[in-house]
Structure 1
Amino acid sequence: MTDYRKVLVTGADGFIGSHLTEALVRRGYEVRAFTLYNSFNSWGWLDSCAEDVQGHFEVFSGDVRDPHGVSEAMRGCDAVLHLAALIAIPYSYHSPDTYVDTNIKGTLNILQAARQHGIRKVVHTSTSEVYGTALYVPIDEKHPLQGQSPYSASKIGADQMALSFYRSFGLPVGVIRPFNTYGPRQSARAVIPTIITQLAAGSERLKLGSLHPTRDFNYVEDTVNGFIAFLNSDQSAGKEINIGSNYEVSIGDTVRLIQDIMRTNAELITDDQRLRPALSEVERLWADNRKAAELIGWKPAFAGVEGLKRGLTETIDWFLNPENRGRYKDQIYNI
């Protein structure tokens, strides 16, 4: 552990952010969890975080689109892990303005506040979607960026804003780029929870979008370890670094792996509303993760087909808990 005493995690109420908050607390960090303000006083997934973590982190409810709240949340912190973002691709088709406001302007607010408060490390979260369909594989950090959805375009803008603050002002910010993270607590808008929740509900017809695109699935524990390694590296500022398993698998093959684990054999049905526009679909993702190994000492523990099977088994076990699955609406399409 470095001498970063107090860490701000934005998006701490979300899927990856809640797991990261738990991991940081367990490693002895003082964590301020930035959650999205709402009238229900909900902290998202942190409402049901692990018992050993409960009561051991501070919560700041706000909105990254507000620069004053962001600045106040950052006061007294040494480092920032910036995960807050809108990430659903279908929703970005009809509400792109909100993606610009949250992902680009929200990131700008983080960067400005970090300069103001003399933050010693900012970890900005990117996504493999910024690469678009692979022009070559595996995809390294020199691969061209292609905005194939308003979501990915907004993340390209946010990434470049972060790197510009490194180059213009010497802000110690770097860009971490996770590929297709999955695991407990993931939103049902993602393909793996979509498959699991339908099968767990006993559906005989599994409604999905395209089955041929490939992805590089990264178990959430690996992604979280990547964030912490990135934070603690003295070589990550000003860098873009992939966090991926370096294993390519199609959606169709992923379905078959999940069905084998769950011992089901539902009929696969193409649901047109789940299909992306043809030019927007990212057909192929496969991460080159050598830079992560070289610069921050990170390697996936859930690598290859056997690692994917282990991660899927842990994910399925979590979703099969009725209390967890009860939080999802498996009967409707979640955009």
Structure 2
Amino acid sequence: MTNLNQFYLRRKVLVTGAGGFIGSHLTEALARANADVTAMIRYSSSSAWGNLEYLPPDLKNSIKVVAGNIEDPEFVTQAVRDQAVVFHLAALIAIPYSYVAPRSYVRTNIEGTLNVLEAARRLGVARVVHTSTSEVYGTALTETIDESHPLQGQSPYSASKIGADKIAESYFRSFSTPVVTVRPFNTFGPGQSARAFIPTIISQAAAREVIELGALDTLRDMTFVGDTVAGFLAAGATSGVEGETINLGTGRTFPISHFAERILALMNVNKRIVQDPKRVRPAASEVLRLVSNNEKAQRLLGWTPQTSIDEGLKRTISFVEANIGSYRTDIYNI
């Protein structure tokens, strides 16, 4: 098994989508490993760094931040130049917003991925780690989902990610571009926005008397962000996995209502949970059940999740409570 700290020591690494939830945790892990990290974030006139703002000052000072747009091929090419490993996480990910603005998902998720892969191909990058999502599988057709499960575009978001995954596959098959696709199942942890259900539950439990959620009986396989990041790091460093698609999940699934009840118990609060119709996906678009088969990740990467659900929830609760002012609990964030 590759010594990850040794592998990334002083290695030039680019993280796209570094200001996002998983991207910021990955950037932090790389900085702690003393990699030479460039963090690509989306340009904003506010000059904010997204979730990178939560990094300790010494780590923030150790990374190079570049701001631009993943849809701009010239900008992407300049960011990719001279990098040894590229972790591509930049994407639009909110499923409800994909019903409102589907074309933007095609431009960001498909064209943005094309820009990264074309730059990597032309510049000879040693490894590209492309980020997929378990949403590409749609509702499980088998007991557990392995990487051969059919892909089902049950939302414009998932369709755009299927397109991006296939672009990545085509670049490996057509040009031998050394790309590995990692397919995280639902990830949670500190820094996640209220567009995800776990911080939604926590923030509402901290600030409101009633918890408003969408579907309560859908089943999800939840991985703590630190474990997901460990999978990314292994995918970037392990030899011989080019062209592979690899699930990152726990292999266990629970309904949304289970997580809600567990969170309320850990917070020691007793509040009513109700279903809010505007938070419910269209019936044929809802993914009813996701549970990973992670055997391939264990075999190829030596990866297994290490953090229990309760431990991950406790860390997430602590973060949300400490930053409750960042969560708008009075509105539905799409």
TM-score (norm 1): 0.96
Deviation at 1:319, TM superposition (A): 1.0
2:87 — aligned with what? 81
Work out whether 1:49 is the aligned partner of 2:50.
no
Letter in 1 for 2:258: D
Query: In structure 1, what is the equivalent of residue 44 of structure 2?
Result: 38
For residues 40 and 252 of structure 1, the distance between their equivalents in structure 2, rounded to whole angstroms, comes to: 37
Residue of structure 1 equivalent to 2:123: 117
Q: How does 1:139-150 map to 2 (within 5 A)?
A: 139-150=145-156
Could you list the structure 1 runs, at least 4 aligned residues long, displaced by more than 2 angstroms after superposition.
1-4
Alignment pair present for 1:274 and 2:279: yes
Q: Which residue of 1 aligns with 2:262?
A: 257
Task: Report the Cα distance in structure 2 between the residues aligned to 1:51 and 1:37, rounded to whole angstroms.
Answer: 21
Q: For residue 212 of structure 2, give the secondary structure of its aligned residue in structure 1.
A: strand
**Alpha-carbon distance in 2 for matches of 1:311, 1:118:** 38
SS in 1 for 2:326: coil
Matched, 1:327 2:319: no
Q: How far 1:116 moved relative to its partner?
A: 1.3
Match of 2:109 in 1: 103
Root-mean-square deviation (CA, aligned residues, Å) is 1.0
Asked if 2 retains the 8 angstrom alpha-carbon contact of 1:174 and 1:238, the reply is yes
Match of 1:210 among 199, 204, 215: 215
Write out aligned runs for 1:210-249 (5 A): 210-249=215-254
What amino acid maps onto 1:298 in structure 2?
W
Q: TM-score, normalised by structure 2?
A: 0.97
| 8 A Cα contact 1:130 1:153, kept in partner | yes
Matched, 1:151 2:167: no
The SS at the match of 1:185 is coil
Cα offsets for 1:142-195 (capped at 9, x unmatched): 100001000000000000100100000000001000000000110101000110
CA contact (8 A) 1:132 1:147 kept: yes
Bigger mean CA deviation after superposition, 45-54 or 139-148 = 45-54
What is the distance in 2 between the residues matched to 1:76 and 1:113?
11
Q: Distance in 2 between matches of 1:315 and 1:235?
A: 35
Contact 1:215 1:249 in 2 (8 A): yes
Distance in 2 (alpha carbons) for counterparts of 1:216 and 1:237: 26
What is the identity, as a one-letter code, of the residue corresponding to 1:120? A
1:19: Cα distance to partner? 0.6
Quote how far apart the aligned CAs of 1:264 are.
Answer: 1.2
SS in 1 for 2:57: coil
Identity, in percent, stands at 53
Q: Which residue of 2 aligns with 1:128?
A: 134
Instruction: Give a deviation string over 1:121-160, Cα, whole Å, max 9, x none.
Output: 0000000000000001211001000010000000000001
Deviation at 1:219, TM superposition (A): 0.3
Unmatched runs of 5 consecutive residues or more in structure 2 = 1-5
Aligned residues between the structures: 328
